[in-house]
């Protein structure tokens, strides 16, 4: 299933790549792309595990870039 998010307070392009790589590693995430310039995150995830995946993504973000917020569109 596809999801889109606005991603706020993303300050640098390297951080975006870093987050992208970390989220990619989460089990059940089939595709992720974060655009630093358009401040958007697109996810293709396993529907059955949606809640766990979203929790893990929030953990990753909190650990790597605590300032970053994601807002579902």
- Contact residues toward another protein (CB under 8 A) are 9, 11-14, 17-18, 33, 35-40, 42, 63-64, 66
Q: Please identify, using beta-carbon distances, which residue of 15 and 49 lies nearer to another protein.
A: 15
Q: Please identify, using beta-carbon distances, which residue of 35 and 52 lies nearer to another protein.
A: 35
How many angstroms separate the most distant Cα atoms in the chain? Answer: 33
CB 71 within 8 A of CB 3: no
Quote the least distance from Cβ 23 to another protein, whole Å. Answer: 14
Quote the least distance from Cβ 48 to another protein, whole Å. Answer: 24
CB 37 within 8 A of CB 67: no
List phi, psi (to 5°) of 2. -95, 140
């Amino acid at each position: 299933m596809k999801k889109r998010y606005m991603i706020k307070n993303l300050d640098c392009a390297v951080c975006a790549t870093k987050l992208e790589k970390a989220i990619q590693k989460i089990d059940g995430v089939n595709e992720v792309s974060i655009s630093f310039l358009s401040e958007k995150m697109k996810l293709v995830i396993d529907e059955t595990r949606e809640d766990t995946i979203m929790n893990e993504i929030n953990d990753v973000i909190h650990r790597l870039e605590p300032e970053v917020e994601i807002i579902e569109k």
